[in-house]
Structure 1
Amino acid sequence: MHQADSLQKVDSYKVGVGHMKELMPTMVEAYHHFTAACFAPGALDEKQKQLIALGIGLFANNEVCTLYHVQEALAKGASRQEILEATAVASAVASGHAMSQGVTRVERALDSLT
């Protein structure tokens, strides 16, 4: 994916939120207030929070969030290596999710059906 494609998808999201704000300003402002508070520096710094959000975006298979949080992580000082390590952690969690469900749910289903 080219940088222009990535930026365009994130921009489309921002435009969509702008349209929603015209119809539902209180809701959108509350969402922005909430997310700003969540991403503000605290025990975790802003870069760490963006890397966490990137991992969650990947796990949720949310393309726009993935692209957005890569941009934000870079803006908060994350290196390519840090972003790729966050990606690897998300991959490990995703495969662990499938494994944990496989050894519990599938085993229960097999036990009940055989």
Structure 2
Amino acid sequence: MNTVMEEKVSAYKLGVGRMNEALPGITEAYHAFTGECMKSGAIDEKQKQLIALGISLFANNEVCTLYHVNEALHKGATALEILETVGVAGALGGGYVMSQGVTRVQSALDSVQGGGQHG
């Protein structure tokens, strides 16, 4: 990991450590839950890390993105698999905007324009 990534992940770990001091039950439950979710099962650990990476990108969560790139590599993902994951996340993000645009925006236009006029 490069220095910027290390600093961001370290800041996250420091923050979690501080939260753990105040609310150990919550942080311990969170780590137990995520640890269980990321264990190999019907979906292997590498694929789970790639899924988590895609979700991290969609959520615009920089620390999780950095973390899951690193974890995916450690679980055997290739750079090409990681880049394909970026493509899938991009397709999902575009699909989200398109699906909401053609439904919500159209409803708003119909409401404002009084129904069937388009263009």
Task: Give, as a single letter, the amino acid of the residue that structure 2 aligns with 1:89.
Answer: V
Give the TM-score, by structure 2 length: 0.92
Q: How many angstroms apart in 2 are the aligned matches of 1:105 and 1:3?
A: 42
Q: Does 1:70 align with 2:64?
A: no
Which residue is equivalent to 1:61?
Answer: 60
Which residue is equivalent to 2:5?
Answer: 6
Give the TM-score, by structure 1 length: 0.96
Q: How many angstroms apart in 1 are the aligned matches of 2:75 and 2:45?
A: 6
Runs of 4+ in 1 over 2 A off after TM superposition: none
Q: State, as a whole percentage, how many aligned pairs show the same letter.
A: 62
Q: How many angstroms apart in 1 are the aligned matches of 2:104 and 2:37?
A: 34
Task: Give, as a single letter, the amino acid of the residue that structure 2 aligns with 1:37.
Answer: E
Deviations 1:4-35 (A, max 9, x none): 10121011101110111011111110000000
Q: How many angstroms apart in 2 are the aligned matches of 1:102 and 1:25?
A: 42
Which residue is equivalent to 2:101?
Answer: 102
The size of the alignment, in residue pairs, is 113
Unaligned runs of at least 5 residues, structure 2: 114-119
Q: How many angstroms apart in 2 are the aligned matches of 1:86 and 1:11?
A: 25
Matches within 5 A, 1:45-60: 45-60=44-59
Larger radius of gyration: 2
Q: How many angstroms apart in 2 are the aligned matches of 1:11 and 1:49?
A: 23
Cα deviation for residue 46 of structure 1 reads 0.4
Q: For 1:82, what is the secondary structure of its paired residue? A: helix
